[in-house]
Structure 1
Amino acid sequence: MTGTETAPGLAKQETPGEEPSRWNKAVRDIMGGSVVISILAVVLALIVGAILIAVTDPDVQKAAGYFFARPGDTIAAVWNSVSSAYVSMFQGAIYNFRRPSFEAGIRPLTETLTFATPLIVGGLGVGLAFRVGMFNIGGQGQILIAAACSAWVGFSFNLPPVLHLVVAVVAGIAGGAIWAGIVGLLKARTGAHEVIVTIMLNYIAFYLISYMLRTQGLLQAPGSNNPKAPAIHGNAVFPPLFGVQYNLTWAFVVVIAATFFVWWLINRSNLGFRFRAVGENPNAARVAGINVKNMYFYAMLIAGGLIGIAGASQALGVFPQGISSGVDAGIGFDAITVALLGRSKPWGIFIAGLLFGALKAGGYTIQAANDIPIDIVLVVQSLIVLFVAAPPLVRAIFRLPTPGSTPRRPGPIVTKEVEAK
C-alpha cells in the first residue's frame, strides 16, 4: 500500500470543518457592514472623481498625445492634476496651511461646518421619515415655508435679543412641521402616496413664496421692486459661534442638539420604538396594537420640524439681509443624499452631513485654484450615492463578505480505496 491508500473498509473520512469562531464572524460582519460599505463608497467615488479630473485636465490631454514616446510625462501630469485638486479641496474644507496664522488657516473648517449645518438637520428629517417607511421628498418646500415663517417673525417684530431669536426659530419649526404634516395627514387618512404629495407641495411652496416675495404687504421689502424680503432684525439673527471673522453661527449648536434629540427619540423613547416597528412591518405593528396612521402623521410632523430648523438657519444665519426664492439652495434634495449615506441613523447622518459640507466648501476651492468645473464635485456626490445604494457592487469590487454569511468550506478530500494484496 502507498501512503495515500487505505485498507479495505477503512477509507479516509473527511471530518467536517469547524464552525468559524466568534472573532471571525465579527470580522466578517464588520467588513461587510454598512459602515465599511459607506467608507468604501466614498473612496470609490473619489477614485472615479480623480479619473474625471485627470481626463478633463488640458495638461494631461496634451501629455497623452505623445504617451508612447514619453509615458512618464503623462503619469506626472495625471499625478499633478489629481494631487493638486485634492490638496486644494483639503485646504478649502479642512485647513489651509498657506495662511499666516492658525485662526486664518482653520477658517475652511468653519466653512465646512457652515455648509453642513442645514444638510445635517435636513438629513435628520428625511432619515426619520425613512425609519417609519416614508419617503420625504418635500424638503425643498418645507425649507421654503420654514424660512418664510422665520423671516417674517424676524423682520416684523422687535423683541428682546434671545427671545426674538427663539420665537423666530420656533416659527420656522412650526412652518416646516405644518407643511410636512399635510403629507402625513393625507397619507394617514386617504392613503395618498407621500412621494407624489411632497413633490407637488414643493411646487406649491416655491410659487407661493415667489408670489409673496413680489407682493407688498406680504414678504416683499417695502419700497422695493425686487423679489426679496426685508432684512432680519439684529435680535433675531443667529450670532457667530467663534467670532465675526467666521460665518459659522450658533445654528450649528442647535443642529448638534437636534441630532441628540433624534437619537434619543429613535433609540430610547416609546414613540421611537413604535416608529421603528411601523417602519419594519406596518402590518405586524398594527396587529400589535400600534396606530399606524397616527405614526405616519407624527413622523411627518417631527420630520418637517427638523427640516424647519434648516430653513430657520438659512433665513436667520445665511441670509439675514433678506431671503429670496432661492433660500433653500438645493438643501432639500441634498438632504436625501445625506440621509442615504448616513443609513438613516442620527450620527451617521451627522457624519455624512459633515462630508458633504466638506465637498461643498472644498469644491469652490478646486474650481478657483485649479480651474476644474464645480460639476466634478457634483459628480463625486452622485457617485457616493450610487455606490451607497448598491452594497453588492461595493462588496464585489473589494471582495467583501456579506454580513451573517459563513465562509465556504473546501470540498471533502476523497481518497481512493484499494484492496490489500
Structure 2
Amino acid sequence: MSQATAEAPTPRPTPPGEEPSRFQSAFREIITGSAVISVLAVVLALLVGAILIAITDTDVQKTAGYFFARPGDMLGAIWQSVSGAYSALFQGAIYNFRRPDFATGIKPLTETLTFATPLIAAGLGVGLAFRAGLFNIGGRGQMLIAAACAGYVGFAWNLPPVIHLIVAVLAGLIGGAIWGGIVGLLKARTGAHEVIVTIMLNYVAFYLITFLLRTPGALQAPGSNNPKTPPMQETAIFPDLLGPSYNLHAGFLVVIAATVYVWWLLSRSSLGFKFRAVGENPNAARVAGINVKSMYVYVMLISGGLVGLAGVNQVLGTVTTGFSSGIDAGVGFDAITVALLGRSKPWGIFVAGILFGAFKAGGFAMQAAEGVPIDIVLVVQSLIVLFIAAPPLVRAIFRLPAPGSRPRRAVPNVTQEVTAK
C-alpha cells in the first residue's frame, strides 16, 4: 500500500543580495550628504517665501474674493506676483536684462559680491570656531573693534599708499583677534561659557566705540558734533576691481585668500587637525596629548581676526566717508546663518555668503520693482536656518534616506517541497 510521507521542508540557499553599483553608491552618498540638505533648505525657504509673497499681494487678495467663480484670475495673480518678485530678485542680484549692454547688466552681480565680502569673512570666523566646538556669536563686537582700529589708522596716519592700506588692514585684524582672544582666554582659564562672554563683549564694544565716536581727539571727526569718524584717506582704501562704476573692491580678493587659508588650516595643517579633534571630543583630544585650553585661545584669536576682516572691509571698502557705531550692519549675526548654511566648511561658507549677498542685493530691487516688503527676504533667510537646523524634516519632505543607511535588499522566496512516496 502506498503511503505518502512528507519530508521536512528544505529551504533553498538564500541568494546573496545584489550589491549596489558604484554609481548607486555615489548617488546615495550625494543625496544623504549635508550639501544636499543645505540646497533643499534653500528651496523650501523659497517656496514658503513664494506663499508669503502671494498672500501679501493686493491683486491676489482681490481675486480671492471670487475664486470659485473665476479661479483662473487668482491663479494668474499668484503667478504674476511670485514670478515678478523672484524675477526682480534675480535681476537685482545677478543680471539685469533691461540694461542696454553687458557692462551695465552685470552690475547687480558685482553688488552681490560686494555685499557677500564681509559676510564671507565673518562666516569663516564663526565657522572656524564651530569646528573647534565653540559658538562665537561675538561678531558684532569683534567687527566694531576691528573697524575702529582700521579706521583710526585709515584717517589719522599718514603713510605711503600701499603700506598705508596694509597697515590699516593689519590693525583691524589684530583688533578683532584680540577681542576674540579675550573670549578664548576666559574660556581656557576660568571655564566661562563663550556664548555669555561674547554677548557681553558685544555690548562692551558697542558702548566703547559709541563713547570714542563722541570724544574729540579719539574717533570723532574734528569740528563735528555727530558721532562719526572723518573720511578715510585715499591711500587706505581698497582699490576698485572693475573701475569707479562698480562698488566691488579688492577686499573681495582678500576674502578669497582668507577662504583658501582657512581651507588649508583645517585640511592640511596640524593646528587645524587639533581644532577639529577638540571640536569632535575635547576629552579624547586631551587624552591624545592635545592642550585643549591652548586650542581654545588659538581658535578664538584666528576666529576674531577673520570676523575683524569683515569690519575692515566695511570701513576701507564700503563706507569710506567715515563710519558710526552701526558699521557692523548686522553682519556679525548674519555670519552665524552663513556658517550654518555652509556647514562650517570654508568653500561652503564662501558659496553661502554669495547667496546671502544675493538676497541683500536683490531684496532692495524686489522691493523697489514689485513693492514686496524687504522683510520677506529676512523671513526666507530665517527659514533657511530653520530647515538647516532640522535635517530630518527636510529628509521627510523630500523622502530622502537617512545618512549611513543602506538600500533595502529584496527578500528571497523560500519554497517548501513535499515529496510523495
Please say if 1:269 is aligned against 2:269: yes
Quote the residue 2:3 is aligned against: none
Mean Cα deviation higher: 352-361 or 231-240: 231-240
Letter of the 2:97 counterpart: F
Normalised TM-score (structure 1): 0.96
Quote the residue 2:109 is aligned against: 109
CA contact (8 A) 1:143 1:311 kept: yes
CA contact (8 A) 2:144 2:206 kept: yes
Q: Secondary structure at the match of 1:296?
A: helix
Quote the residue 1:96 is aligned against: 96
Letter of the 2:213 counterpart: L
How far residue 287 of structure 1 moved from its aligned partner, in angstroms, is 1.1
Q: Deviations over 1:109-133 (max 9, x none)?
A: 0000000000001000000000111
Letter of the 1:88 counterpart: A
CA contact (8 A) 1:25 1:406 kept: no
CA contact (8 A) 1:8 1:420 kept: no
Extract unaligned runs of 5+ from structure 1: 1-5
Q: Deviations over 1:78-123 (max 9, x none)?
A: 1110001010001000000101111110100000000000000100
Quote the residue 1:350 is aligned against: 350
Extract unaligned runs of 5+ from structure 2: 1-5
Partner Cα distance (1:365, 1:264) in 2: 37
Please say if 1:233 is aligned against 2:201: no
Quote the residue 1:214 is aligned against: 214
Alpha-carbon RMSD across the aligned residues, in angstroms, is 1.5
Letter of the 1:333 counterpart: F
CA contact (8 A) 1:28 1:402 kept: no
How far residue 280 of structure 1 moved from its aligned partner, in angstroms, is 1.1
Letter of the 1:340 counterpart: L
Quote the residue 1:3 is aligned against: none
Quote the residue 1:50 is aligned against: 50
Q: Deviations over 1:230-282 (max 9, x none)?
A: 11111111111100000111000000000011111111111111111111111
For 1:5-44, what aligned pairs fall within 5 Å after superposition? 9-11=9-11, 14-44=14-44
Please say if 1:375 is aligned against 2:375: yes
For 1:362-401, what aligned pairs fall within 5 Å after superposition? 362-401=362-401
Quote the residue 1:179 is aligned against: 179
Letter of the 1:27 counterpart: F
CA contact (8 A) 1:138 1:202 kept: yes
How far residue 52 of structure 1 moved from its aligned partner, in angstroms, is 0.6
CA contact (8 A) 1:177 1:301 kept: yes
Quote the residue 1:257 is aligned against: 257
CA contact (8 A) 2:9 2:416 kept: no
Letter of the 1:335 counterpart: A
CA contact (8 A) 1:210 1:325 kept: yes
Normalised TM-score (structure 2): 0.96
How far residue 19 of structure 1 moved from its aligned partner, in angstroms, is 3.6
Mean Cα deviation higher: 106-115 or 275-284: 275-284
Letter of the 1:171 counterpart: A
> Share of identical aligned residues, percent?
73
> Which 4+ runs in 1 deviate beyond 4 A?
11-14, 414-419
Quote the residue 2:409 is aligned against: 409
Letter of the 2:343 counterpart: R
How far residue 409 of structure 1 moved from its aligned partner, in angstroms, is 3.1
CA contact (8 A) 1:8 1:419 kept: no
CA contact (8 A) 2:138 2:332 kept: yes
How far residue 414 of structure 1 moved from its aligned partner, in angstroms, is 5.2
